Chain A
Amino acid sequence: MLNNHLQLTPFIHIDDFQSIRVNGPFELLSLSPNSCQLKGQGFALTIESGETIISTMNVDEVTISVRDLTKLELRKLDMV
């Protein structure tokens, strides 16, 4: 399982591209059946897929389950 685990930044963990975990203080910018946008620690995370559902969300962690991932974008907010 360790091989599949991808830690992109200190706050994003991708287990198997169907479940994306985000740690730390964040803000939900938008959620629609096909996309999800989060903001936190100076980054903005955009996920686009066939179906996007936030499977759990609490104060320090959000787990997003996706089906048919089409786009995973992490941008530093300064660059916007």
Chain B
Amino acid sequence: MASLESSRKITCQLKPHEQTYSFLQALKLNKVYIIKLSTNKSGTTFMIYEKDIPKVRKIRKKYRIPIHFSRPDNSSVLQFHWSVLAGLLGFILVPYICSLFLWQISIEDESDERQVKLEQELHKLNVIERKSLKSLIPDSEIRQVILANNHDLSWIHIKRSGAKMHITSVPAPVIIRDQVDETAPSDLVALRKGVITHYDLRSGERLVPLHETVKKGDTLVTGILKQGNKNLVVGAEGQVFADYWLEMSFQLPTKIIYDKFVAEEVNILQVSKPWKAFKKEQSLEHLIEMFKSVFRVERNTIFEKSSVTVNEKWIEEAFLPMLRMRTASSLSSNGKIKDEKVLHMTWSNDTVKGKVLYYMNDNIAGKRPIHQGD
């Protein structure tokens, strides 16, 4: 950098003076390199190298010539010097060359063992760090090979950003098969009263025809098959659907009061209280408290009391759908509510009582182990 500094050019301006030529001659004799020397009416202008300034100053004093120095390239930040140009070129070339290589491979997987396995597989595929991006095999091929070797994966996400490669594995969903309890074969019995609508059986023999009413405890499906004189215990499996009525009763206050979220309040610079305390008693504790309060942020949630007066419309539009939802949530996935009927509603001063009847269809069968004797 020293050579660069010293090779900067400085413009010197001299006003017309008798001693101009002898001054220039003296500069020449002191080995000051003069560049672009020209004269006009306003005086003489020339350039020198920065390193010669001390010499020029010394000679100027001797000849008593006023001289004005200025840097012609003062405003330009970058000097067109070979080292500057080489540096600039380096700033462009080095990142460009670096961007041609793969610098980082990251693997995201739930299990560490599989992560190591995937690393090894990538190594085998020659997908390694500090390798030219052009020579890498395409992503689809990487995915194909990894998926072929790992049957427990459903997909491989390969994300490339610049010189980084991020691989995320997606495990295949675990399929849970129903555990058939073969050790204890059982019959299917009715858990409640109802009219049988349909069967959904995997094993066992129907005992009750469709559209027949059953009572609680009746055997619906037997797990014993008769083969000639022989009894074969297979166990009954499946569901038996029946229509049945379910009664729900409710009791509500006629006026419901609840908290309603209105807003959130953020308080900052709550200094007035600590300031008053400090003014009252000037202690260190109060001073610290005051400073603390400057940086304290208080958050308050504002609630509003809201009330609803229960009327028949509200019961019909808001309450009954909620009750229906709650009742439906107790059903199995194939069960459904076929109909609903409000049996009665009694209004008193502060409460309302009611009964709702639901006509539902759901599995009513439960298992009862077959007693095989000894």
Residue in A29, A52, A55, A58 whose CB lies within 8 Å of B28: A58
Contact B37 A31 (CB under 8 A): yes
Q: Which residues of A contact B44 (CB under 8 A)?
A: 31
Residue in B31, B32, B36, B40 whose CB lies within 8 Å of A54: B36
Q: Which residues of B contact A53 (CB under 8 A)?
A: 36-38
Contact B38 A54 (CB under 8 A): yes
Known: A57-B28, A58-B28, A58-B31. A30 touches B36 (CB 8 A): no
The contact string, 1 if C-beta is below 8 Å from chain B, for chain A 36-57, is 0000000000000000111111
Q: Which residues of A contact B24 (CB under 8 A)?
A: 28, 57
Contact A59 B28 (CB under 8 A): yes
Residue in A29, A52, A57 whose CB lies within 8 Å of B34: A57
Whether A32 sits at the interface, judged by CB under 8 Å, is yes
Whether B29 sits at the interface, judged by CB under 8 Å, is yes
Whether B25 sits at the interface, judged by CB under 8 Å, is yes
Q: Which residues of A contact B29 (CB under 8 A)?
A: 59
Number of A residues with CB within 8 Å of any CB on chain B: 15
Interface residues in A45-80 by Cβ distance below 8 A to B read 52-59
Chain A residue nearest in CB terms to B39: A31
Residue in B21, B25, B34, B40 whose CB lies within 8 Å of A33: B40
Cβ distance A25 to chain B, nearest Cβ, rounded Å: 9
Residue in A29, A52, A56, A58 whose CB lies within 8 Å of B21: A29
Contact A59 B39 (CB under 8 A): no
Contact A56 B40 (CB under 8 A): no
The contact string, 1 if C-beta is below 8 Å from chain B, for chain A 6-45, is 0000000000000000000001111111000000000000
Most buried by A among B21, B32, B37: B37
Complex-state Cα separation, A52 to B38, whole angstroms: 7
Residue in B25, B31, B32, B33 whose CB lies within 8 Å of A28: B25
Number of B residues with CB within 8 Å of any CB on chain A: 17
Cβ distance A5 to chain B, nearest Cβ, rounded Å: 23
Chain B residue nearest in CB terms to A31: B39
Cβ distance A14 to chain B, nearest Cβ, rounded Å: 19
Contact A33 B28 (CB under 8 A): no
Cβ distance B46 to chain A, nearest Cβ, rounded Å: 8
Interface residues in B8-38 by Cβ distance below 8 A to A read 21, 24-25, 28-29, 31-38
Cβ distance B27 to chain A, nearest Cβ, rounded Å: 8
Contact B38 A59 (CB under 8 A): no
Q: Which residues of B contact A57 (CB under 8 A)?
A: 24, 28, 33-35, 37
Complex-state Cα separation, A27 to B29, whole angstroms: 10
Q: Which residues of A contact B33 (CB under 8 A)?
A: 56-58
Q: Which residues of B contact A55 (CB under 8 A)?
A: 35-37
The contact string, 1 if C-beta is below 8 Å from chain A, for chain B 157-196, is 0000000000000000000000000000000000000000
Complex-state Cα separation, A28 to B24, whole angstroms: 8
Contact A54 B28 (CB under 8 A): no
Chain A residue nearest in CB terms to B33: A58
Complex-state Cα separation, A58 to B34, whole angstroms: 6
Contact A54 B34 (CB under 8 A): yes
Chain A residue nearest in CB terms to B44: A31
User: 14 A-B Cβ contacts within 8 A?
Assistant: A29-B21, A30-B21, A31-B39, A32-B39, A32-B40, A33-B40, A54-B36, A55-B36, A57-B24, A57-B35, A57-B37, A58-B28, A58-B32, A59-B29
Known: A31-B39, A52-B38. 19 other contacts (CB 8 A): A28-B21, A28-B25, A28-B28, A29-B21, A31-B21, A32-B40, A33-B38, A33-B39, A33-B40, A53-B36, A53-B37, A54-B34, A54-B46, A56-B33, A57-B24, A57-B37, A58-B33, A58-B34, A59-B28
